Structure 1
Amino acid sequence: MILKAIIVEDEETSREILRNYLKKYCPSVELVGEAAGIEEGLTLIRNNSLELVFLDVEMPYGNAFDLLDKVGDRTFETVFVTAYDHYAIDALNAHASYYLLKPISIDELIKAVDYVTEIKQQEERLQDQVLVPSSKQVQGKITIPLQSGFEVLAVDDILYCQADDNYTQIYLEKGKKLVSKTLKYFEDILADQGFARIHKSYLVNVNAVVAYNKGKGGSVVLSNGKELLVSAAKKSALLSYFK
């Protein structure tokens, strides 16, 4: 698969190094343009159908996050390339697929491109389809603790779980429950019952997913119409549930 890509980087030497590395080690990447600043980058993004943007964090008159805010809804993946490791959390929150530190490691660059390729191939296979789980739904029940004992919930009735500090909000077909357990707790007990962690805050019933959107970095739509963001790190694992 060919990935149409651009580089947004204010340092000419850094652009040259990345360009040469991509040409030599990542032949699946087709560079269609380069930009030295936010406005140039925005123009390239709006004028091209892209799969991948290599993006420096700090640039004149703003930063990478300002650029992504201006882009809004997007279908391309983002690989941050920066000399500063303290932007890692911000990059994750901006749904970056990968975070490369300068000087660029060739091995890490190849991993980044391979990861984006995997995501894009999966998205391409699922393009314009209503998703159907590839594995059979597992019937079952779980218990949630109450002061007076416990309550039994049918797993089928759970749409998704949302982290709330050390608590978890369980959203059901009808209503919701607040449980004094972490999201990781429910991730573990529901792992073999058709649930997937799609974000640091969300665990979804894969059987409740009716659509996948590439915009906003990736999101799923559930049977009740609720749309939830999918983090870049969880995207490939989620898409593997479907065929």
Structure 2
Amino acid sequence: MPRRALVTGGSRGIGAAIAATLRQDGHDVVIVDRTIATTGEKGRDHRAYELDVSQFAAVERVLAEVEADGGPIDILVNNAGITRDGMVHKMDPVSQWQAVIDVNLTSAFNTVRCLVPGMRQRGWGRIINISSISGLKGQIGQANYAAAKAGLIGFTKSIALELAGKGICANCVAPGFIESPMTSAMPPDALRREAAGIPVGRLGKPDDIAAIVAFLASDQASFVTGQVWSANGGQYL
């Protein structure tokens, strides 16, 4: 059944692939991103809103506008994320640590807090949070990112328990190394080393993640909640 979906960080990479796949499944898709004005997304075949999802007041205001413009959101995909890598003994408390926690973890609370009351009233909802292999095993130079992504898993499991009786399923997807703007910013030698350690012999593609999200967003996933779906090519078993 077609629903209305919201994808955070939907302008490029994994988020753009998720938005496209959900549209192909017939859903009415809305994206939010901090850089809509510079990405050309306003010309695409979905609605796009500029939003810094780390700021609760802004999320509350914009999501109210989103639902007023086109109807309630039943599928929420929390994909927005940033990296600010550095060794923990050199990590800046604000520009590296807090910035990553706010965008990668607090943003999921912000969107869930604003949209879940409506989902509860309607008795149906899907929440899919994009975690990471780094949240499962840790990563040198990514204490901030790994902490946020691990926190997202705990957050997801908790809200899954809270919302299971209301027809709302909450799950995580934990991608491994995916071809995306985020991984393309890695040093080439580091990326080659990671790719060499993937048993299936390649980096993942954004569509690999989008396909999992599409299933978790569907009516067929009504008995799946509180789970972490790893998609890492066998790199972490």
TM-score for the superposition, normalised by structure 1: 0.39
Structure that is richer in strand per residue:
1
Larger radius of gyration: 1
Work out which structure has the larger RCO, using CA pairs closer than 8 Å and 6 or more positions apart in sequence: 2
TM-score for the superposition, normalised by structure 2: 0.40
